[in-house]
Structure 1
């Protein structure tokens, strides 16, 4: 662990016999609770043999830090925990508290199976179908079959409609998105009272101008026109808000939300509609 003017740099070793997605998420959530902490992530995924684990332990010894793991094999767990104890290094099995509590509640022993196998079951194909749907109906490209969407996201350009739809697709939700373009009417399917849930994405004008200018800069585009003109952008934002209020659509302010937070809010709206 080192300190400098930027903050604290700390090694985090993520050891998993699966894809490591759980550990990566836990690490992000953990570091978000500390100011000026810069995690140096060391990832060791699909670790399923003693020889692989020995190499991991050697690398951990070379860069002391926090060790977080999800290992189902009991011998491998003991091997890693013993090594960390000898090196006086903090080591935690991040899922143990939840698994232990669930096991006690259910009265069922854990199977110690490696997590997240990619099974070709109905849920898997549902996600693939939802992803295809999101890509086909991205940015208002196709109005065909909009009525079979679970949700339609409507918003001005650069309100994270596409990545939110993709994230929702990975949760098995058929999400389409329709952009609000000045002078271009929205498709009539959006206004169907018996149609899918329509969610309006709001954003502050100042935030939108900042995002759009950064977008143009990354593309080395010098011609901006009304796309980043302050007055024009404020009119876009105001027109969107008026439309959402007039139609009675639920809204989500994405000004300072992550994609995951926006998607979670959409899932909550879908759940509320289903009850």
Structure 2
């Protein structure tokens, strides 16, 4: 059977803010199509007609799909008219959601540029959570583990750090503690008043594959017990036994993305917080 060739597609992302929403929507959309490789053209913090004119010129030179989030009505009209003249598909990705919300609430939109990035208590909460995640990464400052919202525990290469950082962006203070053979875990993990502890599980075969790839990337030739099949399987089994003995909820990260792992942890945290 012949392998299907990849299809390249220009995607222009135009935003008057940081463009994070657009990037997320674009990648989620393209993931639903096989063999589609988007060529991303990003134009962020576009807040003047002159900037927009330069954007339109680049769109004309590389035809493709145009996705935008622009609050200024004149700029929206300018971009939409230009795309219509070029027969270019153009979509305001938030319009359907904003329209439904506006009608449900019975309120008009404020059309403030960058309103989603307004500095408020929630913003500073996320910054604090990110600082906490960095300060308590990989078992550091375990005396302060009681201040965490959640503690992730797992053997090496179970995505503890990136999951902690992702949770921090959701305003969750996440610490992570590695399970290292022969090294005792901090006693704070077993205190009665400890925060929620979540064990990160992974299949031995998947873990061996990840660790070997990491060593190759680091051009490291000495592997030892880090990738030895028997040792790795023992590590995984010991972790599972510990989680079961302590009654800690677990998340299997073997085939999960960071986002999926974080979502599962957030669900466990919501259950934990219920009275």
Q: How high is the TM-score relative to the length of structure 1?
A: 0.96
8 Å Cα contact 2:143/2:188 also seen in 1:
no
User: By how many angstroms is 1:118 displaced?
Assistant: 4.3
1:87 aligns with 2:120: no
8 Å Cα contact 2:4/2:35 also seen in 1:
no
1:198 aligns with 2:217: no
1:9 aligns with 2:8: yes
User: Structure 2: how far apart are the matches of 1:27 and 1:100?
Assistant: 20
User: By how many angstroms is 1:116 displaced?
Assistant: 4.5
The more displaced of 73-82 and 189-198 is 189-198
Could you tell me which runs of 5 or more consecutive residues in structure 2 were left unpaired when the two chains were aligned. none
User: By how many angstroms is 1:23 displaced?
Assistant: 0.3
1:151 aligns with 2:155: no
Name the residue aligned to 2:245.
Answer: 246
User: By how many angstroms is 1:131 displaced?
Assistant: 1.6
Name the residue aligned to 2:136.
Answer: 137
Aligned pairs for 1:126-275 (under 5 A) are 126-275=125-274
8 Å Cα contact 2:15/2:69 also seen in 1:
yes
Name the residue aligned to 2:61.
Answer: 62
Name the residue aligned to 1:45.
Answer: 44
User: Structure 1: how far apart are the matches of 2:51 and 2:267?
Assistant: 42
The DSSP-based 3-state class of the residue aligned with 1:108 is coil
Could you tell me which runs of 5 or more consecutive residues in structure 1 were left unpaired when the two chains were aligned. none
User: Structure 1: how far apart are the matches of 2:35 and 2:261?
Assistant: 25
The DSSP-based 3-state class of the residue aligned with 2:67 is strand
User: Structure 2: how far apart are the matches of 1:196 and 1:62?
Assistant: 55
Equivalences, count: 272
User: By how many angstroms is 1:117 displaced?
Assistant: 5.6
Q: How high is the TM-score relative to the length of structure 2?
A: 0.96
User: Structure 1: how far apart are the matches of 2:120 and 2:39?
Assistant: 37
Name the residue aligned to 2:72.
Answer: 73
The more displaced of 229-238 and 183-192 is 183-192
Name the residue aligned to 2:19.
Answer: 20
The DSSP-based 3-state class of the residue aligned with 1:144 is helix
User: Structure 1: how far apart are the matches of 2:145 and 2:138?
Assistant: 12
User: Structure 1: how far apart are the matches of 2:135 and 2:19?
Assistant: 30
Name the residue aligned to 2:122.
Answer: 123
User: By how many angstroms is 1:5 displaced?
Assistant: 5.4
Name the residue aligned to 2:34.
Answer: 35
After the TM superposition, which segments of 4 or more aligned residues of structure 1 sit over 6 Å from their partners? Answer: none
User: Structure 2: how far apart are the matches of 1:253 and 1:51?
Assistant: 50
Query: RMSD between aligned alpha carbons?
Result: 1.3
The DSSP-based 3-state class of the residue aligned with 1:145 is helix
The more displaced of 130-139 and 100-109 is 130-139
User: By how many angstroms is 1:125 displaced?
Assistant: 2.3
User: By how many angstroms is 1:119 displaced?
Assistant: 4.0
User: Structure 2: how far apart are the matches of 1:233 and 1:6?
Assistant: 38
User: By how many angstroms is 1:34 displaced?
Assistant: 0.7
